[in-house]
A = this chain, B = another copy of it.
Amino acid sequence: MTLDQLLERPTEWIASEGPHGKIVLSSRVRLARNLRGHPFPEWANRTRRQKVLDIVMPAVAELPAMKEHFAATMDSLSALDKQLLVERHLISRVLSARNHGSGVVINKEETISVMINEEDHLRMQAVRAGLQLQKVFRMIDKVDSELEEQLDYAFSPRFGYLTACPTNVGTGMRASAMLHLPGLVLSNQMGQVIQAVNKLGMAVRGLHGEGTEAQGNLFQISNQVTLGEKESELLERLDKVVLQIVEHEENARLTLLEKEPNRVYDQIGRAYGVLRYAHHLDSKEALNLLSLLRMGVDLELIPASGRAMVDELMMLSQPAHVKRAAGRNLGARERDVWRAELIRGRLRELAAPALDKQPAPPQSEEEAA
């Protein structure tokens, strides 16, 4: 299928709501694999990278999970195409900087993507809505097993799968969950949470992974260790940590609503008001305001139909998606005008009468008892 056909379909993990979907947007597992007897991409010349691509790409494209797919070599994609795939988390920024000898294969639901000659010969990922790490792992594990029947992986009985970067050696697995944590941010608790999570051997990162800033109150929690533990154990530990953060976030929101209800209503009301009527929105402001709107849905200040709308707008208001919607190249200011119009148009369908009211006065402890 073409890139246009792929992008016109709703992304599975955005259109559906998974377990703990209020706070956990998605779960993702990726495996790093390499072919025996071929140099890692960074050390391979163009001919040798092309050779790996020629072996791997057809093998991936023929997998049952990839029955309908989009496949492309990186040199065949425009800068805009690449940026679109990055914004949809279907390829990494590292792959988007590659050209000859690298490629990607993505299934039509956008739940499985296999990058070829990124940092490793193969980087395969599965993603689903909500917190379901084990299920996502089984999806990608199946892809991996089927590929292993055809490809000769670099594997050491002692270390496990060999990878270009030693931090991936062993399982070659990085599992992550994308969390929406406005309550912890608003109550200034994210610093503590990050420290605690780091101590448990997990990393907290921004929207686009390593080295990116947290925007829209979105955080990726992922495992650091790939060696010395079984996949199932790693996933179980990550799952527990995520569940704890979810609980913290829920508590933070309840406390905010109880102690500073007007502040919560104010933040969500202003976000709604600005998104509904602004004529100029940059992508960072849009994402931050959409994040507050999403919390508004969770707190029932915005109708439930708003959640899918907000999640879609979070994706569609990214720069490359706005350019694509405009159908032509736009300067930054023009893009901000288009983005604002897109969001205004959608939000017109989303009335928020609950935001007119004052928050109910908090019950006293006596009344609550």
Measured CB to CB, the residues of A under 8 A from B are 262-263, 265-266, 269-270, 272-280, 333, 337, 340-341, 344-345, 348, 352, 355-356, 358-359
Q: Enumerate chain B residues within 8 angstroms of A358, measured Cβ to Cβ.
A: 279, 337, 341
> Once the chains are docked, how many angstroms separate the CA of A275 from the CA of B277?
11
> Once the chains are docked, how many angstroms separate the CA of A345 from the CA of B358?
11
Which interface residue of A270, A272, A341, A359 has the most chain B CB atoms within 10 A?
A270
Classify the interface of chain A: helix, strand, loop or mixed.
helix
Are A270 and B278 also in contact (CB < 8 A) when A344-B356, A358-B341 are? Answer: yes
Q: Enumerate chain B residues within 8 angstroms of A340, measured Cβ to Cβ.
A: 266
> Once the chains are docked, how many angstroms separate the CA of A352 from the CA of B279?
14
Are A279 and B269 also in contact (CB < 8 A) when A262-B337, A341-B358, A356-B348 are? Answer: yes
State which of B278, B352, B359 has its C-beta within 8 Å of the C-beta of A266: B278
Query: How many copies of this chain does the complex contain?
Result: 2
Which interface residue of A278, A279, A280 has the most chain B CB atoms within 10 A?
A279
| A269, B278: Cβ atoms closer than 8 Å | yes
> Once the chains are docked, how many angstroms separate the CA of A263 from the CA of B262?
30
Task: Return 8 A-B CB contacts under 8 Å, by A number.
Answer: A263-B280, A266-B340, A272-B273, A273-B275, A273-B276, A273-B277, A274-B274, A276-B277
State which of B262, B274, B356, B359 has its C-beta within 8 Å of the C-beta of A273: B274
Nearest first, the 6 A-B pairs at minimum CB distance are A273-B273, A273-B277, A269-B277, A266-B279, A266-B280, A265-B279
Q: Enumerate chain B residues within 8 angstroms of A344, measured Cβ to Cβ.
A: 356
Whose C-beta in chain B lies nearest to the C-beta of A334? B262
> Once the chains are docked, how many angstroms separate the CA of A252 from the CA of B334?
23
Whose C-beta in chain B lies nearest to the C-beta of A264? B279
Are A272 and B277 also in contact (CB < 8 A) when A340-B266, A341-B358, A348-B356 are? Answer: yes
Could you list 19 further interchain pairs (A-B, Cβ under 8 angstroms) beyond the known A262-B279, A274-B274?
A262-B333, A263-B279, A266-B279, A266-B280, A269-B279, A270-B273, A270-B274, A270-B277, A270-B278, A272-B277, A273-B273, A273-B277, A273-B278, A277-B352, A277-B355, A279-B359, A341-B358, A344-B356, A345-B356
Shortest CB–CB separation between residue A281 and chain B, in angstroms? 8
> Once the chains are docked, how many angstroms separate the CA of A269 from the CA of B337?
13
Q: Enumerate chain B residues within 8 angstroms of A270, measured Cβ to Cβ.
A: 273-274, 277-278
> Once the chains are docked, how many angstroms separate the CA of A44 from the CA of B272?
58
Which interface residue of A345, A356, A359 has the most chain B CB atoms within 10 A?
A356
Shortest CB–CB separation between residue A285 and chain B, in angstroms? 11
Shortest CB–CB separation between residue A286 and chain B, in angstroms? 13
> Once the chains are docked, how many angstroms separate the CA of A262 from the CA of B269?
23
Shortest CB–CB separation between residue A317 and chain B, in angstroms? 16
> Once the chains are docked, how many angstroms separate the CA of A324 from the CA of B356?
22
